[in-house]
Structure 1
Amino acid sequence: MTYSENAPAASLRSGDGRQRTIGIVACSAEGAALCYRTICARAPALLGPHAHPEVALHGASLADYVVALEAGDLTGVGAIMLRSAEKLAAAGAEFLICPDNTIHAAMDHVRPRSPLPWLHIAEVVAAEARRRGVRRTALLGTRWLVDSAVYPEALAAEDIEFLRPEEDEKDEVARIIMDELVNDIQVPGSVTYLQGLIERLRDRGCDTVILGCTELPLVLSDKNSALPTLDSTRLLADAALRHAMG
């Protein structure tokens, strides 16, 4: 989303003239940091130089999430997310985002018990895909995410088809994400692999690609992708800004 630098800030705030405090439930440091930086970088176009809504961030250890994911324990994943939610509510957050696609698989366990409302990353991405007129999108992310119902449900609600990579491709993307990107390691050969995979998905009939891991936008964008990208990290940041402004 592109914001108008000339838009009056008062018209973009909540009804009482106050900006809502954003709570970020962090999972991986890289994805959370990119989302936070995006919020802070894009807000001045709305609010003036150096201004952004208040942001509270809490991150449990990524290792705790990985243990629960490897055990297939979505209730456990949800419990970790809820602990962050409780801490962010106590810190003054008024709504929550989670810049991690994978753990949205636990959202059914989270939303009914949460002290605060959530923006759902896949719902945000699917809404943008509909706005762009996407018909069939490719889905990249961890194997946990790609094999889950997170995006199939969100895309089905918008009547958009999707395609997963082949099994060996899922494994390699997952390795690149978990061994490299979440650890702030960017390997040129891995980027080349991802670019080649997107070309293959284009040839299989996809018209866009969802960067369904919040670290993938660190190395992929419209500039180096054979398909237009749906950047889940920055789309979530944009949605959070819109919601904070009311």
Structure 2
Amino acid sequence: MKTLGMIGGTSWHSTIEYYKLINQMASQIIGEQANPPLIIHSINIELMREQDREKINAKYLETSLKLQNAGAEAIVICANTPHMAYDFVQPKIKIPILHIADATGREVQRLGLKKLGLLGNKPTITGDFISKVLKKNYGIETIIPEEEAIPQAHHYVSKELTLGVFSKEAKAFFLEQIQLLRKKGAEGIILGCTELPLLIKPDDIGIPTLATTDLHAQMAVDFIFQNHQ
């Protein structure tokens, strides 16, 4: 098994979900009596809340180097939004960062979809760190909610979901946004927040949902067992 480095902390709920999923998936390969080698470094979520891009880049580079020096053979960033640091960090380290958009793109290609709606917080929705990879590597178009809806989406993600709060109001809001995205041609929905799949279930909307956390965890497990006999 290969050793995987995990950068967590944004939020700790997300980090727990990643750790649980990776171990659950690994147990299907090696059994419950064993578990894969993982190195976790948890970052204070306040860093992401400040939204200082230079500080975020510097911290994720520092942390990636620590994981590399500790023996990690690849890195998984345990949330969607911190992938904004990928382009800055990846060229400066010697081990791969397994990108969440690549994990999503592989599944979208398998499903044969070409146009997807993207939900998440403001940096995830308005940034290009997911949409750019999907377009460049997989030819997939990404559409987002209308501009006036983005602050509300950000509020529910940052002030509720990442704190473990799953309100009826948040669910109603995101279901409405999904229907609007469907009207704009979305063939599926990217749930670009670790906690969104806990709020929105596939049966709620009637079109494919792409839970980025689950797909990313599977990508991590595929790496861990790349050379497993």
State the TM-score, normalized to the length of structure 2. 0.92
2:216 and 2:119 mapped to 1: Cα distance?
16
1:52 aligns with 2:35: yes
Q: Write the letter of the residue equivalent to 2:182.
A: R
- 194, 201, 205: which one pairs with 1:225? 205
Q: Write the letter of the residue equivalent to 2:4.
A: I
Q: Write the letter of the residue equivalent to 1:238.
A: Q
Deviation at 1:199, TM superposition (A): 1.8
1:112 and 1:118 mapped to 2: Cα distance?
10
* Alpha carbons 2:26, 2:221 under 8 Å: kept: yes
1:81 aligns with 2:60: yes
Moved over 6 A (4+): none
1:221 and 1:21 mapped to 2: Cα distance?
32
* 1:43 aligned counterpart, secondary structure: helix
Deviation at 1:127, TM superposition (A): 2.0
* 1:223 aligned counterpart, secondary structure: helix
State the TM-score, normalized to the length of structure 1. 0.86
2:131 and 2:35 mapped to 1: Cα distance?
33
Deviation at 1:115, TM superposition (A): 4.5
Match runs of 1:148-167 below 5 Å: 148-157=127-136, 158-167=138-147
Structure 1: stretches of 5+ with no match in the other structure: 1-18
- 116, 133, 144: which one pairs with 2:112? 133
Root mean square deviation of aligned Cα? 1.5
- 1, 24, 43: which one pairs with 2:26? 43
* 1:57 aligned counterpart, secondary structure: strand
Hey, what does 1:236 align to over in structure 2?
216
1:117 aligns with 2:100: no
- What whole-Å deviation, never above 9, does each CA across 1:54-113 have from its counterpart, x for those lacking one? 11111110102221x1x4x2x321111122223323433221001221121221110011
Hey, what does 2:164 align to over in structure 1?
184
1:20 aligns with 2:27: no
Q: Write the letter of the residue equivalent to 1:197.
A: Q
Q: Write the letter of the residue equivalent to 1:49.
A: E
Aligned residue-pair number:
224
Structure 2: stretches of 5+ with no match in the other structure: none
Deviation at 1:159, TM superposition (A): 1.1
Q: Write the letter of the residue equivalent to 1:46.
A: I
* 2:139 aligned counterpart, secondary structure: coil
